[in-house]
Structure 1
Amino acid sequence: MEITNHVFEEIKDPTGIMVGKRYEFLLDVEVDEEDELYTPGGLELRVILAADDNGTRIVHYNVIDKLSRNVLEFALEDDEEAEVLAYCTSSL
């Protein structure tokens, strides 16, 4: 899996309920044709990141087929999730 591009924005909490900050990342991802996540049109990861006194963590993510815009029912492996977290954290 290779992250090729991204955009992100801070999610505003007008209620003040959330502790810390939240960010939404949209990551363009390329995977090898042999990978179970592979789709011909490519993939996008939508990642919600939380940053507070306890550190930074992924609180939610979706794997999205770029062509159909369908959410795919796949979970990232632990090493892939760690890679995504490191990438997003370095982009803040």
Structure 2
Amino acid sequence: MLTVTEYSVELVKDPFQILSGKRYEFEIDLELDEEDELYSSEGIYVKAVYKVEGEQGSVVSYKLYERTSNRFVDAELEDEEEAALAAFCREHYAEGDE
């Protein structure tokens, strides 16, 4: 399960309307147990792009980074963590419109 400590979300501008729907970029700080394979003493955050088109939304992409160094972490979330990420984005994307 993902435990979010902080996050930010903003609408990605598409002035030429090349992309269908709206895109939101999330930066989400995670609290991880030391036993978790993603754990780093530096802290871990996720950068995710969430797409909303009509009533449908989905995570288009995400990447993991170490908080202190901003170093890319070459790993993937487990299926239930990806589902939790999508649910979190679905709950909070509208904050990017404010």
Same fold (TM over 0.5): yes
**1:5 Cα deviation from its structure 2 partner:** 1.3
> Paired residues, what number?
92
Return the alpha-carbon distance in structure 2 between the equivalents of residues 62 and 15 of structure 1: 26
Alignment root-mean-square deviation, CA = 1.1
**1:54 Cα deviation from its structure 2 partner:** 6.4
After TM superposition, where is structure 1 displaced by more than 3 Å over at least 4 residues in a row? none
Identity %: 36
* Structure 1 stretch displaced more, 48-57 or 23-32: 48-57
Name the TM-score, length of structure 1 as normaliser. 0.94
1:81 counterpart residue number: 82
* Unaligned stretches of 5+ residues in structure 1: none
Secondary structure of the 1:6 match is strand
CA deviation map 1:27-52 (0-9, x unaligned): 01011000110000211100000000
Secondary structure of the 2:82 match is helix
Q: Does 1:55 align with 2:56?
A: yes
Higher share in helix: 2
* Unaligned stretches of 5+ residues in structure 2: none
Name the TM-score, length of structure 2 as normaliser. 0.89
Where do residues 1-92 of structure 1 align in structure 2 (5 Å cutoff)?
A: 1-53=2-54, 55-91=56-92, 92=94
